[in-house]
Amino acid sequence: MSAVKMSEGHVTLASGGPPLFYRQAEPGQGSARLAVLLLHGIRFSSENWLNIRTLETLADASCRAVAIDLPGFGNSKDAIAPAPVGEPAPGNFLKQVSEALQLGPAVVISPSLSGMYSLPFLLQHSELLKAYIPVAPICTDKFTAEQYGSVQTPTLIVYGDQDTQLGKVSLNNLTKLANHKVVVMKGAGHACYLDNPAEWHRALLEFLGTL
């Protein structure tokens, strides 16, 4: 692996309030080909993506990878969530995150809890998403087949075959997205990327290579 530039910081949104914490990995040399925004599930934070080396793996593949701690989690504990857990947040929230981080059109990776943020962002601001990678996100049942069908954003749906609840429910709804592929991780549970990081990174890089 070539040298990767790792950094961390805080970013303040246009709407104000306590800042959000983020971790970032960038290619050691040359400019990034893609920007990737990594969200997280309810028991997790940006630290997961550091620990399983997803940030490093993405930077090594010429991506600028930014993992944020969502409001109320990790090092963003003081930030106030714009919606109760389980309810779709305003799509403008991740738009502000994207603008504050100067990401431009980015790939959004969204497991579990973070679906409450990423799905409204996808449906309201699809021009700001280069691609969408949902990993058994919540809130997929809050939107209609027509809403999903109207989105052309390239999507990679990932879930573990042992995730019999959210995995299956989210799959049924997300396959209504017009432009999707599906990766099923065998023997993996809800946080499938933790169960098999190597397979997760393979699927991720393969998909990013098609963009």
Q: Which of 110, 112, 114, 118 is catalytic?
A: 112
Which CA distances in Å does 18 have to 29, 42, 47, 75, 195? 33, 20, 19, 11, 33
What is the domain-level CATH number for residue 155?
Answer: 3.40.50.1820
Per-residue pLDDT of the chain (211 residues; tens, 9 = 90+): 458 999 999 999 999 889 999 999 999 888 899 999 999 999 999 999 999 999 999 999 999 999 999 999 999 999 999 999 999 999 999 999 999 999 999 999 999 999 999 999 999 999 999 999 999 999 999 999 999 999 999 999 999 999 988 999 999 999 999 999 999 999 999 999 999 999 999 999 999 999 9
pLDDT of residue 2: 57
DSSP H helices, the chain, are 46-51, 54-60, 92-100, 115-124, 145-149, 166-174, 192-195, 197-208
| 192 contacts 163 by C-beta, under 8 angstroms | yes
Q: Which of 40, 180, 190, 201 is catalytic?
A: 190
Give the side-chain half-sphere CA count within 13 A for 91. Answer: 11
* Structural domain count, the chain: 1
Give the side-chain half-sphere CA count within 13 A for 4. Answer: 22
pLDDT of residue 1: 47
* Residue ranges making up the domain that contains 196: 4-208
Could you confirm whether 190 is annotated as catalytic?
Answer: yes
Could you confirm whether 163 is annotated as catalytic?
Answer: yes
